[in-house]
Amino acid sequence: MRVGVIMGGVSSEREVSLMTGREIIKHINKEKYFIEEIIIDTKYEVFEKVKNIDLAFIALHGEFGEDGTIQGALEVMGIPYTGSGVLSSALCMNKQLSKNIMNDVGILTPKWIEIEGIAKRIGENEELIIGNEELLRLLDRLQKFNINVPFVIKPATGGSSLGVTIINEINHIKDGIIKALKLDEHVIIEEYVEGVEITVPILDGEVLPIIKIESTDGWFDYVNKYKSDKTIEHVINLPRKLDEKIKNISKKCWEKFKLEVYGRIDIIVKNEDVYVLEINTLPGLTEKSLFPISVKGMGSSYEELLDKIIQVSLLKG
């Protein structure tokens, strides 16, 4: 079987995608599968580059990778692929839509507002500027929704914590918004929930060992995820009642968003409250990524994980 590992892409997460793709190629069973490295530089070359593969192992992240676009292209060509389908991918990629759905189905998520059109581009360099009037209107909205400092500013789409800022002082809000706007026209401002950060990997509907994330150098941002040794991620054994609650909420996310093959639910636990932050339809698979750590915690290898992902992907409807 010819498996094409699709990596690179056009999003701000290209570097992460290349890291993921190369780790997959390094560890995949070469005796069982013929591997083709497919590096995407533009959207338009996909059809030509994937036409001879039997299955697409999607190692893309962000725009064109996790938003349902590449999934739709592969479905048009009749090529099976790893991960969730078009609709699930699109919904989970958009934080505004996914958080609305969570609210509707009774899944607790931090309070938030979405903002757009708040900044203007000025001058030859099209520098982003937020006027005082726009800022005052935004502060009124935050007060109305009872979102106080500290809070989190993030792009409405995307992952790997790129463009994310924790605002501890209100006078830093403009810088945080502009940082996020450089990656997305839509921005989320979300209440900061202080608690235990965990992530719940799910493979073929089965909840895998839960991972606790502890950063000794600030929070779990892009640098700590991929370039730092100052973050500790490990399997955690929780009290039975809390463990069951987290697993049930994670399964509810899987079912309500109609996820397929594999995914990861990012959660903050504050006292007994379980807040779902995001749902990842194509979680990272680099050596430092959380999914492989969880799999190793149950006694399986990275190679076995990749094989399972491929086999489940071939069977999905």
- Binding-site positions for Mg(2+) read 266, 278, 280
Distances (CA, A) of 127 to 20, 94, 121, 178, 231: 33, 25, 5, 9, 34
- Closest alpha carbon to 189 in 242, 240, 135: 135
Distances (CA, A) of 196 to 31, 94, 165, 167, 214: 41, 24, 18, 19, 8
Give the whole-angstrom CA distance, residue 81 versus residue 84.
9
Contact 13, 222 (CB under 8 A): no
Give the whole-angstrom CA distance, residue 2 versus residue 192.
45
Q: Is 75 a catalytic residue?
A: no
**Position of tokens 């701000």?**
12
Out of 11, 84, 250, 289, the active site residue is 289
Out of 12, 88, 160, 313, the active site residue is 160
Q: Is 17 a catalytic residue?
A: no
Binding-site entries: 266, 278, 280
Q: Is 289 a catalytic residue?
A: yes
3-class SS of residue 137:
helix
Out of 11, 13, 98, 250, the active site residue is 13
Give the whole-angstrom CA distance, residue 74 versus residue 79.
5
Return the ∠ at Cα 10 (arms to 6 and 16), rounded to 5°: 65
Distances (CA, A) of 39 to 4, 6, 47, 49, 57: 10, 6, 12, 9, 12
Query: What are the residue numbers of the active site?
Result: 13, 160, 289
